């Protein structure tokens, strides 16, 4: 199945994901799969003053990502 958006992960975000527990990594992967279909789901917050930047929070993790054309670029994963 192809998705409307391709996912790219910035090097910093990749390191942050790899530093998480396996359970949290699976949560991130599941969320990224959902964002590839709909990158602006209910609950996603547009970051004020930043074009195309969004924040999504799930299970005490915050993801910061940017939407450009048909690409979703994951920039940051942070425990909250």
| pLDDT value at residue 30 | 93
In a domain, 1, yes or no: no
| % of the chain exceeding 70 in pLDDT | 98
Question: Band of the pLDDT at 44, cuts 50, 70, 90?
Answer: confident
| pLDDT value at residue 77 | 86
SS (H, E, C) the chain: CCCCCEEEECHHHHHHHHCCCHHHHHHHHHHHHHHHHCCCCCCCEECCCCCCEEEEEECCEEEEEEEECCEEEEEEEEEC
The residue segments making up the domain with residue 30 are 6-79
| pLDDT value at residue 59 | 84
Global pTM reads: 0.85
Q: Mind listing the pLDDT tens digit for each residue in 1-18?
A: 567 899 999 999 999 999
Specify the CATH number for the domain of residue 47.
3.30.2310.20
In a domain, 24, yes or no: yes
In a domain, 17, yes or no: yes
In a domain, 11, yes or no: yes
In a domain, 23, yes or no: yes
How many domains does the structure of the chain reveal?
A: 1
Res 37 pLDDT > 70: yes
């Amino acid at each position: 199945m192809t998705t409307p958006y391709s996912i790219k992960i910035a090097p910093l975000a990749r390191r942050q994901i790899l530093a998480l527990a396996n359970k949290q990594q699976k949560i991130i992967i599941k969320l990224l799969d959902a964002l590839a279909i709909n990158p602006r789901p209910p609950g996603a917050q547009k970051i004020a003053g930043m074009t195309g930047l969004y924040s999504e929070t799930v299970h005490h993790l915050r993801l910061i990502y940017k939407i450009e054309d048909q690409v979703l670029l994951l920039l940051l994963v942070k425990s909250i």
